[in-house]
Structure 1
Amino acid sequence: MTKLTASYSLILVGLLISYLPQMVRIITRGTSEGISPYFILLGTTSATSGFANILLLEQSRHDVACCKELETFQCIAGVLGIAQLGVQWICFSFIFALFLVFFRYSTSNVPEEELGGEAPRWQTALMVASLTLLHGLAVIIVTSILVYVGSPGLNMWAQSLGLMAAILAGIQYFPQIWTTYRLKHVGSLSIPMMCIQTPGGFLFAGSLFARLGWAGWSSWGIFLLTATMQGILLGLAINYEVQARRDNAAANETDENGRPKSPHLTPNHLFANGLDDDIPGRYSGHPETYADNTEQLARIIDRQDADARAERQPLLQPGGIGIGNTDPKTHNTARR
């Protein structure tokens, strides 16, 4: 019993710590950019259903009832499994609140170029908040009625909540996986949180299975499914984060002359002719000094020719006399 209690306590502390990186990342960045609003909606409602499920299971009700006859330490040890789901619900609800506070990109503390996609509309944030609160209120009302009347359908309601939690948990990562894949970067999603929670989810599912057995499938099954989906998201996030760091490192590389050494990177701005704004313009002297090889020199000359064809200021046109008259006849007469 002591070893089992110690393992439950360790998991409880680890669960609490695992959510802290996500909370800190949203607060420090000042935005929930990169986090899908539907991931928040499904995750919060799933956590609510899961917490209500374990509270209503017969084994959990028995553990709580035994607290009247047990000492404080023994009572706490008996309800640690319930506390684990309670902590998860509290933490995810706090992340839900942070999402609503920081859903606008305009209040972020990160450079604009690091923000991907468009910020969720206020209507979306309002919808997420409304559905989450309505779901929680419905669970409380139905549960209270069944407990008050002593309905034999309480166990069926508990199993229904567990099934609902499992379904919501199973699909909650799909919108987040899609969002991360579309943005091609992590945003405010916390990789350290997922690194802790993914293996911890499998461990948590095992601890609930040891406590509830096959009869508690609706409780431990949630975490088994969630850990699997979170592992997929973690792999995707790590891949994009490593790729972003490689690109940043390549962009900061310089050659022996101190010039940026990143020809493989996509140019910042491409003109219609496919030339980027890092190539010297038409009147750059000695274009060969900007080129490392003949191919780059040819691109510079092409850029200069393109600039000359696009020039609309007479002073700068070939043979221009520096006056504002653009009439070719007058221009030719003035030259004669």
Structure 2
Amino acid sequence: MNDICTPQHDWFTATLTLLLCIGLIISYLPQHFRIIHKGTSEGLSPWFLLLGSTSSAAGFLNLVTVQHTQIRCCRVVSIASCVESTAGIVQVGLQWGMFSFIFVLYMMYFPEHLKFTESSQLNPERNRKAPLVRSALWSRSILLANVTGAHFILSALLTLVLVLASPSPLNSPTPPSPYPDPTFPIPDASGLPLSLARWALFLGVSSALLAAIQYIPQIAVTWHAKLVGALSVPMMCVQSPGAIAMVLSIALRPGTNWTSWITYAVAGLMQFTLLSLCLAWKLRQRRLRVDDFGMPLPVSDAGASASRVRDAEARERTEVEEEEGEEEEGVPGLVLSAEEDAGAVRKALESALGEAVAADVREGAVEVSEATPLLPRGDARGKGKARAGWW
């Protein structure tokens, strides 16, 4: 017991684990906040959330299985030593909890317009609308959420039963020892019973396989939508390089093997692929001037100010043209070029008309002298009358 439960202080591993726990919380908060702030989980794949939740749950229970000795040693060691020895379990359990909370938010903020569709069956009453039924996506999401919960409950119960049924290292039985050296995954110094070794192997391999295909549905949804949707790019920017530190932290802990960290290595690689795709779509959205959900972006303040200035200038030009048009109404039919002054042209026309009238008067006038009778005589009277009539 003294050899098994002797505290092993590793300040580097403990510090790395603490920083990773803080980093996990910080990295998942943008995704939680984004769904709550936007009020929608549109763009997330329920299959991605199912595979991610079950994968992280299997990885968490794998670490509980292989480090159950450290958990039992907490009865005989100090609290500080207990926290340090079980920090890896807390770290992996924290990741499972934070990712599973995304699934909870996905169900809570599922888009209302995607929950129901009109029934395709003919309605006998034509005046009434067709009844609404659950959409295929909403029904699938409910089913996968139930499968996720059932998977964790059953796996946790089986892990608890196997751990409690195995002999405690604090009270080792007399030979023959029930701790046969397992032939798989690899013989190590952990001394796991064969049943726990097999269960840990199953959890580790299943977690890695689920993590390997976890991002495939989400990558497919994001690829076809050509939009980022409710995915948080800052979360992936933090977690993708953080996967390396996660793998290193778990691999350095006592009693772990490749089945404990392979999950996070595969998940980190797939997440980096999804991040690259989201960054590409971000650039495309900026070029098309749409948001992450395909809606047109609102006009910015600078753009609105410039638009208002252009509108004011257009209205001013229109008013000036209307005033010039009113001034030109005094001369019907007058057409001016842009270089001519309407007032000067109008005065010139008035002067020309006056001279023309005066010329006509001079041409039709009769020269009057002292010998000219005031009244016409004889037959000349008719001409006089005719001349007077012309005037």
Shorter-chain TM range is 0.5 to 0.7
Instruction: Compute the TM-score of the two structures, normalised by the length of structure 1.
Output: 0.67
Query: In structure 1, which of residues 15, 19, 37 is the aligned counterpart of residue 28 of structure 2?
Result: 19
Return the match for 2:279 from 238, 248, 259: 238
Deviation sequence 1:292-334 (CA, Å, 0-9, x none): xxxxxxxxxxxxxxxxxxxxxxxxxxxxxxxxxxxxxxxxxxx
* Shift, 1:135, TM fit: 1.0
| Bigger Cα Rg | 2
Partner of 1:262: none
SS at match of 2:75: coil
Report how far residue 4 of structure 1 moved.
2.3
Map of 2:159 onto structure 1? 143
Question: What residue number does 2:76 align with?
Answer: 69
Change (3 A) 1:122 1:86: same
2:248 and 2:156 mapped to 1: Cα distance? 28
**Aligned CA distance change for structure 1 residues 19 and 161 (closer, same or farther; 3 Å):** same
Q: CA 1:146–1:70 in 2, change beyond 3 Å: closer, same or farther?
A: closer
Report the secondary structure of 2:257's partner residue: helix
Following TM superposition, by how much is the alpha carbon of 1:34 offset from its aligned partner in structure 2, in angstroms?
Answer: 0.7
* Structure 2: distance between partners of 1:107 and 1:161: 35
- 1:54 matched to which residue of 2? 63
1:184 is matched with 226
Kindly indicate whether the alpha-carbon contact (under 8 Å) linking 1:30 and 1:107 is maintained by their aligned counterparts in 2.
Answer: no
Distance 1:89 1:188 in 2: 20
Q: Deviations over 1:117-173 (max 9, x none)?
A: xx8632112111121122112212322332343374122111101111111011000
**Whole-Å separation in 1 of the counterparts to 2:100 and 2:263:** 17
**Is 2:114–2:138's contact at 8 Å kept on the other side of the alignment?**
no
2:245 maps to amino acid: L
Deviation track 1:19-40 (CA, whole Å, cap 9, x = no partner) reads 1001001111111111111000
Deviation of 1:66 after TM superposition, in Å, equals 2.7
Q: 1:162 aligns with which of 195, 201, 204?
A: 204
Q: 2:41 matched to 1:28?
A: no
SS of 1:188's equivalent in the other structure is: coil
In 2, distance between residues paired with 1:237 and 1:178?
Answer: 12
8 Å CA contact retained: 2:55, 2:211: yes
Instruction: Please tell me whether the aligned partners of residues 13 and 253 of structure 2 are also in contact (alpha carbons under 8 angstroms).
Output: no
Match for 1:102 among 97, 106, 109? 109
Match of 2:248 among 184, 201, 206: 206
What amino acid does structure 1 have at the position aligned with 2:280?
Answer: N
Q: Give structure 1 stretches of 5+ with no counterpart.
A: 109-118, 260-336
Cα distance between partner residues in 2 of 1:173 and 1:211: 27
Over residues 35-94 of structure 1, what are the superposed CA-to-partner deviations in whole Å (9 max), with x where a residue is unaligned? 11100010111111111100001xx12222332232222221111111110101111111
Length-normalised TM-score, structure 2: 0.58
> What is residue 263 of structure 2 aligned with on the other side?
222
Alignment of 1:82-97 (within 5 A): 82-97=89-104
Letter of the structure 1 residue corresponding to residue 30 of structure 2 = P
RMSD across aligned positions (CA) = 2.7
1:297-336 alignment, distance < 5 Å = none
> Using the alignment, how far apart are the partners of 1:32 and 1:212 within structure 2?
39
Shift of 1:105: 4.2
The more displaced of 136-145 and 216-225 is 136-145
Between the aligned partners of 2:91 and 2:285, the Cα distance in structure 1 is 35
Give every structure 1 segment of 4 or more consecutive aligned residues whose post-TM-superposition deviation is greater than 3 Å.
105-108, 249-254
Moved more, 97-106 or 163-172: 97-106
Cα distance, 1:19–1:162 mapped onto 2, change above 3 Å: same
Return the alpha-carbon distance in structure 2 between the equivalents of residues 157 and 246 of structure 1: 51
The answer to whether the 8 Å contact 2:41/2:106 transfers is yes
Alignment of 1:114-133 (within 5 A): 121-133=137-149
Distance 1:173 1:121 in 2: 18
Confirm or deny: 8 A CA contact 2:65 2:163 kept in the other structure: no
AA partner of residue 230 (structure 1): Q
More helix by share: 1
Q: Is the 8 A contact 1:103 1:125 kept in 2?
A: no
Over 3 Å counting, the alpha-carbon distance change for 1:74 and 1:195 in structure 2 is same
Q: Which amino acid aligns with 1:231?
A: F
C-alpha change, 1:212 and 1:230, in structure 2 (3 Å) is farther
Between the aligned partners of 1:158 and 1:208, the Cα distance in structure 2 is 15
Instruction: Note closer, same or farther for the CA distance 1:63–1:149 as it changes in structure 2 (3 Å cut).
Output: closer
Q: Quick one: distance in 2 between partners of 1:94 and 1:120?
A: 23
Does the aligned pair in 2 maintain the 1:198–1:230 contact within 8 Å?
A: yes
